[in-house]
Each structure stands twice: as structure tokens, then as C-alpha cells.
A and B are shown apart, each in its own frame.
Chain A
Amino acid sequence: MIDEFIAAVVADGGQAARVSDINAARTHVAGILGRDATLCFWNGDPLVLALDPASLGRVVAPVEAFAGITGAACAVAATGTVVLTYGEGRSRATGLLPDLHLALLTADQVLPTLGEAIARVYAGEVPRAMTLVTGASATSDIEKIRVTGAHGPRRVAVVVIG
């Protein structure tokens, strides 16, 4: 199912990889970011904190960052979708304003279908906001030609740990 998820993300034009543990994840993310990257991250998410994003680049506000690192509530294998919910230290701006949205997940967060993912998130209290992210921002408004990087992030990269 993780393979299916990764294939779906890639089919949508995104990047996706599975790594064995948080250290491998850090190396992988460092490779994506390159040197001197400006970044912002969810400091209210334990998985993101474990990555130690501050060691991977220069931490700035989302409006100035090249990359935004978030966790996720869960993900959907069938569609390559990352499901975000928000709260203290998990801002909406992080995965929205920067050019690159980097989402960290553990393998057990990947669910087979959209229906199951929504049922899980809505099982307890209704979340104030939930975003289904499937691929990069795009528009076909000009002569029906698809162009990526409209208003949201130009790129999405997903790292599945475990």
C-alpha cells in the first residue's frame, strides 16, 4: 500500500520516498533542500521536531521560506493525498506559502481510501480545518494548458518513514 501511495504521488507530478527511520529521513530531506535553504516547519508536530529541521536550513517565517515542513493527520494511498489538520504549532501557512511543501508521515498513517481517511479524521471532534493535498498547485485557466505553481506550493515532496 505504501508503494501504491508513492506511485500515486509521483503520478501527480510530486516527489515521494520511503525511508527506514528518522535519520534516513533527515538525510533525504537535506538532499531535497540543498544548501542554505530557508524553511519553516510545524514545531507542534513530534515527527517534524524529531527531524530537527532547524539543522537543515535557515528558519524564517512562512512568507519568506522556500520550504515548509509539515506532518500530516494521515494519507490516502489510492489518490496520493496528504491530509492536513491544524493547531498549536501546526500552522496552515507552513504547507501553503512556501514554494516547496514537504510532508512527513509514518507508514501507519497511510490509509487505503479517501473514505477511510475522512472517517478517521472526523471520528473524534470535528476538525476546524482539514486540507486534502494531492499534488502541486496548478491552473489550466490559460487555453486549458496546465501550468503548475499557481498560488499554492509549486512542488510537493512526501517522505514516508517506516
Chain B
Amino acid sequence: MSERGTIALMPTCLVDLVRPEAGVSAVRVLRRAGYHVTFPEGQTCCGQPAWNSGFPDDARRVAETTLAALAASEGPIVVLSGSCAATMLHAWPELFAGDPRLAGVLDRIVEFGAFLAPLANTAPTVGARRPVAFHCSCHQRRGLRDTTSGTTLISSLPNVELVEQDDAEACCGFGGTFAIKFPGISTAMGRDKVDAVHEAGAGELVSGDLGCLMHLAGVAEETDVELATTTLPELLDREGWAP
């Protein structure tokens, strides 16, 4: 059943601790797609919170544990977060300059949506479709230069209609510790995003980044906007996506 080979899953600390269901969904989806899924032991966090907050030594201390765990793995390292994948690709070269394990790991890093999008087929139209919007995180858009993986995958689902919100490229306002350092600005930006998604007619927002989703879910609830928030793995699992 694992005709496509082995992958190493990196759920990321946020998915691991706060939305483990997304990790479970990712395993199911990857297996359905024909991959043998491994979960490298000993991974904790990529260090992004400390790196972005200006504590690079703390980032390195934590990330080194994860680097060691990933270095002991094989196959593509499928990451359940655009921002973590981007952080590893951009910050780890600086944190681990000269480390012989680095190249072998960075070469294998791929975000979940980017990994599966090439396998997506166009969906046949099937009756009524539920309108869903996709939020491409800033890290995915600008760090990974990928604005199409998520939308390609969602467009391949028969029961779901992808709608596009106005000003989709605008930051949602999460920004990691920015969300708690400057909550007024962060939630004002979040409200704009929630309003745009709502105006586009979507009752559900999907993203490859859990941080953005949690932030927008909180803002939507606070402003009484009906908006379900779903990670990309959970959506694909629920809709029975397969290549």
C-alpha cells in the first residue's frame, strides 16, 4: 500500500499540542495517497517563536533537537505548517551554519499542501458545493513562494467550491508573538480578513497554518461571524481526498 514511498511527518509543535486532529488527518490522507508515514522521534519545535521574537540562541537550542530528529529520518519531511517550513528553510541556515546535517534535512523539507498538490486531479462538478475560502499564510506566500498548492487541492474536491476573498494577499494579523504584543492591531487586521471571507460567501476557512486559523477563529467568534476554521489536512481527510 505504500507504493509511493516513505515520508517523515513533522506535525509542528502547534499541531502536535493544540490541534492533534490535524496530525491524525494528515496521516490518514498521506496513507490514502500511498505513502508510508513515519514520525521522527524526538522532534519538538522548529524554534520559530524564539527566532521571530529576537531570541536566536533560544531558537537554536530548541531547533537543534528537532534537527537531530529529522536528520535521523528518511524521505520527504512533510511539514504541517507553512510558517515552520519557511522558518526552517530561512532561519536554520543561519542558526546551523556549517552543520553537516543541515543540507540533508533542508533538501527534504516540504509543506503538506505543496507535497500533495502535484497529485491533485480536477474535480467533476457534483451537485451543490459548499463555499470554502483558503487563507494562504504570508510565510507560505512569501517565504515558500507558494500561492497555489492549497487552492489546487481544494479545487480538486467535488463537494466544495473554492471562493476567493477580496485582498487575499493581506496579512491576517497573527504574526506569532505580534498577536499578543499588539492585540489591538492584530485583531483589527483579523477582522478585515474575517469580513472579506464572509463577504465572499464562505462559511468555512481553510489554511495550512494553524496559528493564522486560531487567530481568525477567535476574531470571528468575538465578532459573531459564523466561520468554521479547518486545517488543510482535516479538510482533505473529511472530503476523502485521494490522488
A and B touch in the complex (CB under 8 A): no
Mark A residues whose CB is within 8 Å of B: none
Mark B residues whose CB is within 8 Å of A: none
